[in-house]
Amino acid sequence: MEESRSHLLASLEISLDPELLDLALTHRSYSYEHGGIPTNERLEFLGDSILGQAVTVMLYTSFPDLEEGELAKRRASLVSTVALAEIARTIGLGPHIKLGRGEELTGGRDKSSILADTMEALIGATYLDQGPDVATPLVLRLVEPLVRDPRRFGVGMDPKTALQEKAGRLGFEAPVYSVAESGPDHRKSFVATVSVAGAKKRQPVSATGAGSSKKQAEAEAAAAAFVLLGE
Q: Which of 22, 48, 158, 220 is labelled catalytic?
A: 48
Q: Is 44 annotated as a binding residue?
A: yes
Amino acid symbol at 194: V
Rg of the chain over all Cα atoms, to the nearest angstrom: 18
Task: Give every CB contact of residue 215 below 8 A, 6+ residues apart in sequence.
Answer: none
Q: Which of 86, 120, 158, 218 is labelled catalytic?
A: 120
Give the relative orientation of helices 41-62 and 112-130 as an angle to the nearest 10 degrees: 80
Q: Is 117 annotated as a binding residue?
A: yes
Catalytic residue flag (residue 41): no
Phi, psi of 118 (to 5 degrees): -70, -35
Stretch (H or E) spanning 66: none
The sign of the CA dihedral 152, 154, 157, 163 is: negative
Residue 15: burial class (beta carbons within 10 Å; 0-12, 13-18, 19+): middle
Pairwise CA distance, residues 199 & 106, whole Å: 32
Closest CA to 117 of 223, 17, 210: 210
Catalytic residue flag (residue 185): no
The alpha-helical segments, DSSP class H, found in the chain are 2-12, 18-24, 28-33, 41-62, 68-78, 81-90, 101-105, 112-130, 132-147, 152-155, 159-169, 214-229
Q: How far is CA 113 from the centre of its chain?
A: 6
The residues carrying an active-site annotation are: 48, 120
Residue ranges for the binding site?
44, 117, 120
Residue ranges for the binding site for Mg(2+)?
44, 117, 120
